[in-house]
Structure 1
Amino acid sequence: MLPALVAALPLFVLLVGLPLLMKPAVKVAPVAWAVTVLIAILYFHLPPGVTLLAALQGALFGIFPIMYIPFGALVVYNTLKATGWMDKMQGAMASLTIDRRAQALLIGFGFGAFLEGICGFGAPVAIPASILVGLGYEPMMAALVCLVANTGPVPFGSLAIPTVTLAGTTQLDLMRLSRMSGRLMAPLAFIMAFATVFAMSRGKGVKGALPVILVTGLSFSVTQLLVSNFVSAELTDVVASLVCLSATALYLSRRRDARPWLFPGEGAAVAKPKEFHPRELFLSWLPYLLLAVLVIAVNLEGTKRYFNGSAKGWEWMLVQFQIYNPGKLYKFTWLQSPGTIMLIAGLLAFPFLGIRLRTFGEQFGKTARQMVPSFVAVASILSISEVMNLALPILDPKTKLAVWGTLGVKQISMVNTMANSIVSVVSAHVYPLLSPVFGTIGVFLTGSNTSSNALFGNLQKLTAHGLGLSDVLMASGGNAGSPAGKMISPQSIVIAAAAVGLLNQEGRIMRQTIKYTIPYLVILGLMVWGYAFLFPHLVP
């Protein structure tokens, strides 16, 4: 038990530093990194050389491709914001209805899901919440609605980088993880559409808004299920949110409620729909429509091998080299990366929007400076993950000789040490109920599904092997449990509070969101248990 507690010390550092002391991740994560490296070398007796090289590979992976993806998305977003195009997009959506429940679904749920799909990292809560406040929502209500709504799309956010990271950390097949995560998240996303309206209007308000809830919830969840299972993880949120926004907007444009639901004391004239130009709406969405087309184009069966560098003569598309493990090369498909594709989509669309290249360059530099703290935090956490998953000996796949360590002398990883401890005290029939909790804890600690999967993904896999359970199901259970952590994560709540002007009232917000976290985890735990023992044939 003592080795498991020592191995978990970096996690305790994150637990104390982030939610308890409320320190920013950019300060806490490097401290946790130092603790991880020292424990690996001094307690687990891993060689300093291989430990530091593993830390380097984790950090590099945290920047390229992980943080490069939201960087590309935020460059385009900031460019659209600076030139007024994002305001036109937001104004058009706000003009469709004055019913407060429908606004919450369109902006908090649909538009929030779209922002989660393209960039994540706080934008899906901060931007919709600020729009809702501008439309007349009370700040507390706006924050609560957006935190509850921003659950369904989380595992596939930032062009599915949390699920991609889970695949990279666990070495499990990405498409299998995508399918299982989609099968868990689609029903939950549908339920959370109801929860979004319930958060602001309770049961009576839900009853009166059933048609628009069904349109929003079904359009998103069904599309999420289909894309995650039959197309790709990367496109899941982008396509599902676009379908959701289109279906909800079309429904609202055709159905004008004679008695819209408003907040107490409001009159129907409070938020009269504003006129908008359809051409401007199309142009404001053009970069994201091009993104969807280009991501599909480079991932088709006939084109994928060229863009991932596996086709003869196209090896230059793949950056790869050995850092510490010849069996686990560092790889970066730079042109196939959604970060690059987002930048290309923006550059193709900007001339049609009248945006100059100089403006793009200015926003590129501004975004790079803006994201330095996030780069440091995520690089540190991915570095921690790589070190915690380091085991010896490391063999050369070709020669079968030890590159690091000694043949016949096995040193298990820190994560394996924790997994063995869990296996010794938890029953196989109980663990499926608990697997989502690790995702929730990970996001509560780090504020990021990506970081949570990096920290706990391999723990889920190894524990599943020890208990005779499906590794894909347990890893996906943690992936699907992460949105529950998003609702109560100190970082998410601070972002929401800052966006609506409620700084220093984060505790009040958390007391509201935790009411939705617990039912979410109960439902998800039962779903994972059902897949494990009642419907195992439905697990990919």
Structure 2
Amino acid sequence: MTWTQVYNPLDNIWLSALIALIPIIFFFIALTLLKLKGHIAAGITVLLSMIIAIYFYDMPASMVLGATGYGFLYALWPISYIIIGAVFLYKLTVKSGQFTTIRQSIISITDDPRLQMLLVAFSFNAFLEGAAGFGAPIAITAALLVGLGFKPLQAAALCLIANTASGAFGAMGIPVIVAGQVSGIDPKEIAHFLGTQLPIISFLIPFLLVFIMDGIKGLKDVWKATSITAVSYALTQYLTVTYIGPELPNITSSIVSLLALAFYIKRTSPAAAKSFSLSPKQILKAWSPFILLTILVTAWSISFVKTMLEHMNLLINVPFLHNHVIKAAPLVKDPTPYAAVLKIDVFAATGTAILIACILSVFLLNVSPKVAWTTLLETVKELSRPIITIMMVIAFAFISNYSGQSSTLGLALATSAAYFPFLSPFLGWIGVFLTGSVVSNNALFGNLQLTTAQQINVLPIILVAANTAGGVMAKMLSPQSIAVAAGAVGLAGKESELFKYTLKYSMGFLILGGFVTFLLAWWL
């Protein structure tokens, strides 16, 4: 049995969009006004989306259940697999006592929390985003900041906001590559175009982070260090995407900004280094888990390694869903079966690279097998509630996508004609809010942006790039990201506080992105 998606069930695209918005509006209200716990808010949102899919979109109940189950499983693999590994790695450094050395090595560079934040939450976060992605950077850097003495809510929020600078290029440029695949535009051209806009945002982020921490006074105190971080990151990002491509900007920009800031601090505040007498061997041992993580995740991203490992993937067609749902015009030119295949990539998964780093770290840090096992169980227990939240969030996203609710929202925005360039980033924002992933957002709405651009006579690359840029603005408050950050710093059940913290910054950057896209659309 097959079922063809319906994108305008009420024969009025704006009324249909209003119905499709109900779960999203409820989720906002649940977290901001009702202050419900994340897993409860997400659970009710799933139920609302299921009801709308069955009663308004006439999606067969078996397919709705299939999409829900697919979302649950995808949340466990690969997302939760990656998050558990990342937090477990951090906890091993704590249990072994090596985190004290990590902390001292950072303090030996600077004891100023604002500069520590730039080193960890901004530069190191971007490096991990370029290597791993999928929530690991936020989980690791937020936990590191808490270990340095930051309050959990502040640490999580700063890392979520900082991730905006690197989110567009993700792990090895995958978001931009996917945007190219669905739109038919060369990914290098999309990256080049993004390179004219995103470095401006990347430049502003360090100043915003310092302002959030310490207001105007903080900016006055450390404006030189902040400027060095911002300029070195933004300039390297621009040069990399312009002359190399989308794969490496996060890696190059993070390394250059981290080294530039560290060098500046050493030159201007040499006294900090005398606070602790750490040998290179001590520092190397303490940081070895994260060095291993970087090496292994980077190796897993190399094409021939990935190809070799993917031969061992297990592919499972989701019952009642795989190719049972048919995409229709105007989302696609011809009726197209919607695949639903769960990929169990035991060897090729990024989580496996992280797991191997954890296993090797057990030996390098001299952690006993008993302590390691106890630590793993402790990690899983602490993350159980965030994982349930993620399962609910991803299930909602999958129901929305397979029922056509997300496409209804996109098509409604696309009817705004002359104003669509301003709204184009909002569409990307919705895509990432629903899926938690810039990659998934580009796969969902990339072609719709292309089609709309052709209809309103706007250069397609502008709107395809805006889809990515707008999506990045949603990463800091997407339910998936919030759940990951909350779980990493022990704020499970307090997702509403984190959501409210990041909401205003996300909307501010989104509106700015809308104006920039609008001007570019009618200027070029």
Q: Give the counterpart of 2:381 among 362, 365, 369.
A: 369
Larger mean Cα displacement after TM superposition, 173-182 or 333-342: 173-182
Would the alpha carbon gap of residues 71 and 505 (structure 1) be closer, same or farther in structure 2, given more than 3 Å must change?
A: closer
For 2:40, what is the secondary structure of its paired residue?
helix
Partner of 1:19: 32
- SS of 1:8's equivalent in the other structure is helix
Question: Bigger CA drift: 361-370 or 518-527?
Answer: 518-527
Of the three residues 458, 465, 468, the one matched with 2:451 is 465
The answer to whether residue 216 in structure 2 is matched with residue 216 in structure 1 is: no
2:322 to 322, 325, 341: 325
TM-fit CA distance, 1:39: 1.6
- Is structure 2 residue 53 aligned with structure 1 residue 62? no
CA gap 1:23/1:177 in 2 versus in 1, 3 angstroms: farther
* Whole-angstrom distance in 2 between the partners of 1:493 and 1:64: 18
Match of 2:410 in 1: 419
TM-score w.r.t. structure 1 length? 0.72
Deviation, 1:223, is: 5.2
- Letter of the 1:94 partner, please give it: I
Aligned residues: 480
The 1:417/1:483 distance shift into structure 2, 3 A limit, reads closer
Deviates more, 1:469-478 or 1:7-16: 469-478
- The equivalent residue for 1:347 is 359
Distance 2:423 2:111 in 1: 42
Instruction: Please report how far the alpha carbon of residue 29 of structure 1 lies from its aligned counterpart in structure 2 after TM superposition.
Output: 1.2
**8 A Cα contact 1:30 1:380, kept in partner:** yes
**Using a 3 Å threshold, how does the CA distance of structure 1 residues 62 and 178 change in structure 2: closer, same or farther?**
farther
2:198 paired with 1:196? no
**Aligned counterpart, 1:408:** none
Distance 1:174 1:362, change over 3 A: farther
> Alignment partner of 2:348: what SS?
coil
C-alpha spacing 1:482/1:56, structure 2 compared with 1 (3 Å): same
Task: After superposition, give the CA deviation of every residue in 1:304-349 in whole Å (9 maximum; x if it has no partner).
Answer: 321222xxxxxx2343435322452412322221111011122223
CA distance in 2, matches of 1:320, 1:205: 53
Q: Find 1:433's aligned residue among 422, 445, 449.
A: 422
Q: Partner of 2:292 in structure 1? A: 290
Amino acid at match of 1:286: S
Question: C-alpha separation between the residues in 2 aligned to 1:244 and 1:338?
Answer: 25
Alignment of 1:23-38 (within 5 A): 23-38=36-51
How far has the Cα of 1:169 moved from its partner? 13
In the superposition, the TM-score normalised over structure 2's length comes to 0.74
Q: For 1:383 and 1:302, locate their aligned partners in 2 and report how far apart those are by CA, in whole Å.
A: 33
C-alpha displacement of 1:227? 7.0
Tell me by how many angstroms 1:112 deviates: 5.0
**Residues 101 and 350 from structure 1, CA distance in 2 versus in 1: closer, same or farther, beyond 3 angstroms?**
same
Aligned counterparts, 1:485-496, within 5 A: 485=477
| Amino acid corresponding to residue 465 of structure 1 in structure 2 | T
Alignment of 1:468-479 (within 5 A): 468=454, 469-470=460-461, 472-479=464-471
Distance 1:108 1:50, change over 3 A: closer
Note closer, same or farther for the CA distance 1:182–1:251 as it changes in structure 2 (3 Å cut): farther
Q: CA RMSD in A?
A: 4.5
SS at 1:325's partner residue? coil
Q: Distance in 1 between matches of 2:205 and 2:72?
A: 34
Deviation digits for residues 233-282 of structure 1 (CA, Å, limit 9, x no counterpart): 6x765665455434422332233279xxxxxxxxx9xx983333322222
Query: Quick one: structure 1 residues 28 and 145, their matched pair in 2 at CA, closer, same or farther if it must change by over 3 Å?
Result: closer
For 2:484 and 2:387, locate their aligned partners in 1 and report how far apart those are by CA, in whole Å.
17
Give, in angstroms, the shift of residue 73 of structure 1. Answer: 1.0
Q: Secondary structure at the match of 1:72?
A: helix
1:128 maps to 145
